[in-house]
């Protein structure tokens, strides 16, 4: 088996000192879910988002010695993730729906403009809106997003067409979006 030989200027995770490694694990663990959510907001398919998240995580680990601790780790990580998403789209071989690069840039710009407090408020409001859904819709959302059950598997189990479930998920997402916007505009926390 051929051994991969790194270029002289390429840093590897094992090159990171113990203290730096602990610092990385600490800040990465704090922001792991937010970084994944950011990537998932830019890629329409969970598998693709997971692939990009894994690559992004590795790059963050390799480049952590370059990270400026006086700046936001989350912002830095999103910058790395953004370029990984663009790279993924550029080299994707699959014939699936992918956002165009300009759409990705627009989504990233919009997301970058939302302070963390507002994101936290929206997440809290989302949970309240999910509680207001019909039991059947709430269960579908939980299965797809929390339990990460593939939509095809759910469609097969229900004896329904997969497109029917995707259509229902889109309707539920629109309902949730409207609920969040109404709630936040009512409380004065919106946009």
Identify the DSSP state of 2: P
At 82 the pLDDT is: 92
Residues 6+ apart with CB under 8 A from 32: none
At 113 the pLDDT is: 61
| Entry pTM | 0.46
At 4 the pLDDT is: 39
- Residues in the chain where the model's pLDDT stays below 70: 1-18, 93-100, 109-119, 187-191
Label residue 21 exposed, middle or buried (CB < 10 Å: 0-12, 13-18, 19+): middle
Give yes or no: residues 134 and 166 share one domain.
yes
Residue 26 belongs to a domain: yes
At 134 the pLDDT is: 94
Give yes or no: residues 108 and 37 share one domain.
yes
Give yes or no: residues 138 and 152 share one domain.
yes
Give yes or no: residues 99 and 118 share one domain.
no
Question: Which of 82, 113, 144 delimits the end of a domain?
Answer: 113
* CATH number where 149 lies: 1.10.10.10
Q: How many domains does the chain have?
A: 2
Residue 35 belongs to a domain: yes
> Which residue stretches of 44-161 are H helix?
46-63, 73-91, 101-112, 116-132, 135-141, 151-158
Q: How far apart are CA 134 and CA 59, in angstroms?
A: 42
At 76 the pLDDT is: 93
* CATH number where 89 lies: 1.10.1740.10
Question: Which of 55, 81, 113 delimits the end of a domain?
Answer: 113
* Domain span including residue 185: 114-191
What tokens does 26 get? 């600490």
Question: Which of 67, 83, 113 delimits the end of a domain?
Answer: 113
């Amino acid at each position: 088996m051929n051994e991969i030989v790194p270029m002289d200027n390429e840093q590897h995770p094992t090159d990171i000192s113990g203290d730096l490694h602990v610092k990385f694990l600490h800040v990465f663990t704090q922001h792991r879910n937010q970084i994944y959510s950011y990537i998932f907001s830019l890629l329409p398919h969970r598998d693709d988002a997971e692939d990009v998240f894994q690559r992004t995580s590795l790059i963050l680990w390799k480049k952590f010695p370059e990270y400026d601790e006086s700046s936001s780790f989350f912002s830095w990580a999103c910058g790395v993730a953004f370029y990984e998403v663009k790279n993924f789209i550029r080299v994707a071989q699959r014939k699936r729906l992918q956002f165009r690069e300009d759409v990705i840039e627009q989504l990233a710009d919009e997301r970058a403009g939302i302070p963390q407090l507002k994101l936290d408020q929206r997440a809290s409001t989302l949970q309240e809106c999910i509680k207001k859904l019909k039991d059947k819709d709430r269960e579908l959302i939980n299965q797809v997003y929390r339990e990460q059950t593939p939509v095809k598997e759910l469609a097969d189990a229900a004896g329904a067409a997969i497109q029917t479930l995707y259509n229902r998920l889109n309707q539920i997402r629109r309902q949730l979006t409207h609920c969040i916007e109404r709630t936040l505009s009512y409380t004065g926390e919106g946009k």
